[in-house]
A and B are shown apart, each in its own frame.
Chain A
Amino acid sequence: MMKTNKRLYRLLSISLLATSTLLTACSKSGGKAGALSGAARDSTLVIGMLGDADYLNPVIGASLTSSEITGLIYPGLLQGEFDTKTGLLNYLALEKRLRPSSGPDEKSPKGALARTWTMSPDHRSITYTLRADAKWADGQPVTSRDFKFVYRLYGNLVIASPRQQFLSELVGADKGAVDFDRAIETPDDTTLIFHFYKPVPEHLALFHTSLTPLPEHLWKNVKPQEFRESKLNQQPVGAGPYRLAAWNKQQSLTLSSSASCNLPKPGNIKRIIYRIIPDYTVRLAQLQTGDVDVVENVKPEDFAAVQKANPNVDIKTIGLRVYDYVGWQNIDGEYYNSTGKARPHPLFGDPAVRRALTFAIDRQSIIDGYLGDYGVIAKTDISPSLKWAYDDSIKPYGFDQAQAVRLLEQAGWLPGPDGIRQKSGKRFSFSLYTNAGNARRNYACVIIQQNLRQIGIDCKIEIQESNVFFQNLQERKLGAWMAGWAIGLEIDPLDVWGSDLKKSRFNFPGFINPRIDQLCELAKSKMRTEEARPYWIEYQKILHEEQPITFLYWIRETQGFSKRIQGAKLNISGTYYNIDDWTLKPSIAP
C-alpha cells in the first residue's frame, strides 16, 4: 500500500512541478509589463473593439470598425466638422467653409482634398476645385476622375453599396438610374462638377457629394460582380494619415502613420492597433490593466471599479445620440396586415391613453437606477445635442399616476373585478417585448411593468432573440415593445414617422399624422439648415402631444480613455472625431 502511494505521489509531484515551471516561465515573460517596450508603447495606441472590420473599402464597408478605419486610411473631399455649440454639421475645404466655426471642436481644413467649391445660383450644380498635390499612398496623384469613377461604383446596383442613397439627387436619379456622364463632369484633373435634377440645399449637396474616393488606377479592372471578393478590400491603398500595416482577422488590425501623407499630415501617433475583444467584461479588464487605451460604451455601473483599479482611466462622454423608448402599436397591426387599412389599436390607439401610459412610467427612477448622471429624460426624438432644432420649452410629462388614472378613466378604462382595468369587456393586458442581451432595457422593462401594475394595467415581459424581435417589429406583430434609436446628425425623420406606412419602413408604431410629412418636406426645402427650426419646433410639439411612443431617456454614451491620450475631442459625430490629432503622453522614464 505504502509503495503505491509513494509512486502516485511522485507522479503528482512531477506534474505539479511541471505546472509550476510553466507558471514561473510565464510569469517571467509577464513581468515585462505588457510585451511592448516602453518606447514602443509610447508610440502605440491600442483600441479595444467589439467586432472586426469587414471591408476596408468606403464603398461597401458596413461595420462600425470598418468606417472608423477607412476614415483614417482614405482621404475626404471635404473635412467634416461638428459644432457642439449649435449641433450643426459644418463642411470645410482648404479655402472655404460652409459656415464659420464656433465650437470647441474646430477642425483644421487641411485634410480636405477640395480647395474650394461654388454652388450654382439655381442650386442645381456644385463645382469643386481640387488641390493638385494630393497623392495616393502608391505615389499616383488623386484626381477628379477618381471621384467620377467611385460614384459609378457607389451607384452600381450589383455592388449594392449601403451609401447609394447619397446619389439620389444626381441627374437621372429621378428617372430610376443616375446618368453619370451628365451628372458628374471632370473637365480637368482638379475640377469636379456634380449636377442635380432639382435644387438642393448647399449643406445637403456637400454632404452627398463628399463620398470617399478610391484610386481608379487600381480598381478599374475589378468587375462589379467580383467587387466584394477583391483582395484589394483587404489591402487598401488610400491617401489619409494612416496606412494598413497588418491585419490578423478577428484578432487585431494595425495602422501605421503614413509618412508621405499631406492630407492633412501623417497621424501623430505612430501606430494604432485595434484589438478585437468580443466580451465586454474582458474589454473592461484590459482597460484596467492598461493593455487597451480606449474602450467604448463603458457602463455607468462600472466606472467606480475601473477607476479604482486603474486611476489612469478617464471616462469621457459624447453628446446625446441614442435613446430608448417604449413603442405602442398605434394601429391594429393584424387588421392592417390583412387589409392594408389602418384602424386604431384597441389598447394604444387613443393618444390620451398613450399620454396616460407616459404619465404612469417613472422614467426618472429608471435613469437614477441605471444611468445615473448619464441619462436625460427624452421628450421627442430631436436630441438636446442638436441645439439649433431642439425645443427647450416643452416640459416632459412627469411621473404622475393620479393623472394617468384620470386620463384612463376619461377614456373609459375602468377597474375590473380582478383589479385590471377594462373597457367594454376588454382587459388592459398586453406583452411588452424587447431584445435579448440588453441589461439596461431589461431593467427598464421591470420598472415599467411595476408602474403599470400600480394603475391596473397588466403587462408581461417577453424577451426575444434580436433577429426575431426585429422581424416581428417590421411585420407589426408586437403590440408594445421596448427598443432604441441612434439618431443621424442630419434630421430626417420621414423614415420613422411618415404616414405612408409602406414607404416609412421604420414607422413601427404605425403613427399617422400628415402634418408630420408636411413639416419634414418643408424643412427639407429650406436652403439653409437653421431656417427649418420653426418646422422642427412644431414637429416636437406634435410628437409630445400625440405620444406615438413613450420616449424614455437619452443615453450619454460613455467611453473609457487612458489618461495618456491627450488632445481627444469627442462629440456625437464620433468618439474618434480627431484621432489623427491625438498624442500620447510619454511614460515616465524608469
Chain B
Amino acid sequence: MLRYILKRLLIAVPLIFGVLTLTFFIIRLAPGDPAAFFIQPGISPNVAEQIRQQYGLNDPLPVQYVKWLGNVLHGDFGRSFSRAQQPVIEVIAEALPVTMTIAVLTLVANFAFGIIIGVISAVKQNSFLDRFLTVTALFFYSMPEFWLALMMIILFALKWPLFPVSGLNEIGAESYGAFGFVMDRIWHLALPVTVLSINGSAGIARYVRGSMLEVIRQDYVRTARAKGLSERVVILKHALRNALLPVVTLMGSSLPFIFSGALFIEVIFAFPGMGRVTVEAIFARDYPLIIANTFVSGTMIVFGNLLADVLYAVVDPRIKL
C-alpha cells in the first residue's frame, strides 16, 4: 500500500502542476483586466499602464510564465493585486481557518445526521417514518443553499431573533474572555452550519439508506438473524459496517470542500473564508490569488481522491492496493 500511495503522490505532482499552468494561461487569456478599476474618468490614463507594469503584466506571456514558474518553485505565490499587495499565502492563511471551522463542523453534522436518518429509513423501509424522512430529505436536498440561508435568517434572526445575522463574532467579543468568545463564535456559526448540514446530511441519508437496504437483504444478515442475534447487533454491527463502505469514501471526496469553502454561505453570513476569497479574486482578475487558490483546492482534490481510495482499502479487506 505504501508503494501505491507513493506512486499516486508522484503522479500528483505533474498533475497539480499541469492544472496550475492551465489556470495561468486561461485566466490571462480570459477577457478582463486586473487594472480595469483604474480606468475611470478623473484618473490619469497612465495609471492603469503603471499598475500593469508593477504587476508585471506588460511582459510577453511566455516571459510572465517563466518568471511565475521560478517564483512558484521557490514557494512564492506572489502578492495579491486586489488585497493591498498582501502576500497571497497570508491571505489564504487568514481565510483557511474560518473555512475549516465551518467545514469540519458541517462534515461532522452531515455524517452524524445523515447516517442516523439513513439507517432509520432503511430499517423502517416504506413505513410512514421512512416516507416522511425521505420526502423531507429530498425537499432539503433540492433546496438551493443560498435561499435556505436567507429563509433561516428571516426566521431565526429577524422574526425570532435567536441568532445573529452575520459575522464571525459580535462586535466587542474580544472583551468576553476566552469562554465567552468561543460561545459567541458558536452562536454565530449555528445558522450557517445548520444550513450547510441540512443540505449535506440529506444527501448522505439517501446514500446510507440505499446502501443499507442493499446490505440488509444479504445472506449474512439473514444468517446473523438466524443465529438469534438481537436486531440491534444485526443492524449496527453486521449491516451498518458494510453499508458504510461507500459512505466512507465520501469522506475523502469531502476534503476539497473543507478547504475551498462554501461560497454562498460565506457571502451571506459575511465570513471571510476561502470561497469568498476565490470568487472575489476571480471578479477582480487577481491572478496570483486565483492561482494560489487553485493550488489549494487542486491539491485537496488529489489528496481527497487518494484518501478515498486508501480508506476503501482500509475498511474493506477484499480490496488490495
Contacts and interface: CB of A to CB of B under 8 A. Distances in A.
Contact of A27 (B39, B83, B112, B162): B162
Interface in B127-155: 150, 153-154
Contacts of A234: 84
Interface in A431-478: 465-468, 470-472, 474
Interface in A26-47: 26-27, 29-30, 34-36, 40, 44, 46
Nearest to A472: B31
Contacts of B187: 25-26, 29-30
Contact of A278 (B41, B85, B184, B276): B276
Nearest to B235: A4
A467 B284 CA distance: 8
Contacts of A472: 31
A285 B164 CA distance: 10
Interface residues of A, number: 70
Given A12-B116, A29-B183, A165 B171 contact: no
A249 B46 CA distance: 30
Q: State the main secondary structure of chain B at its contact with A.
A: helix
B267 A279 contact: yes
Nearest to B49: A160
A25 B184 CA distance: 10
Contacts of B183: 25-26, 29
B120 interface: yes
B47 A164 contact: yes
B270 A279 contact: yes
B230 A3 contact: yes
A15 B84 contact: no
B150 to A, nearest CB: 6
A285 B162 CA distance: 14
A22 B158 CA distance: 19
A218 interface: no
Contacts of A132: none
Nearest to B264: A279
A529 to B, nearest CB: 17
Contacts of A249: 83, 94, 272
Contacts of A362: none
B184 A468 contact: no
Interface in B226-240: 230-232, 235-236
Given A27-B162, A62-B38, A249-B94, A160 B51 contact: yes
B116 A15 contact: yes
Interface string B5-46: 000000000000000000000000001110011111111111
Contacts of B268: 279, 281-282
28 contacts: A4-B123, A4-B230, A8-B119, A12-B116, A15-B116, A23-B162, A26-B186, A29-B183, A30-B187, A35-B170, A35-B171, A35-B176, A36-B170, A36-B172, A40-B172, A44-B171, A54-B84, A62-B37, A160-B50, A165-B44, A229-B85, A273-B171, A281-B268, A282-B269, A286-B165, A291-B164, A467-B33, A495-B41
Interface of B: 31-33, 36-47, 50-51, 53-54, 79, 82-85, 94-95, 112-113, 116, 119-120, 123, 150, 153-154, 157-158, 161-168, 170-173, 176, 180, 183-184, 186-187, 190, 230-232, 235-236, 267-270, 272, 276, 283, 285
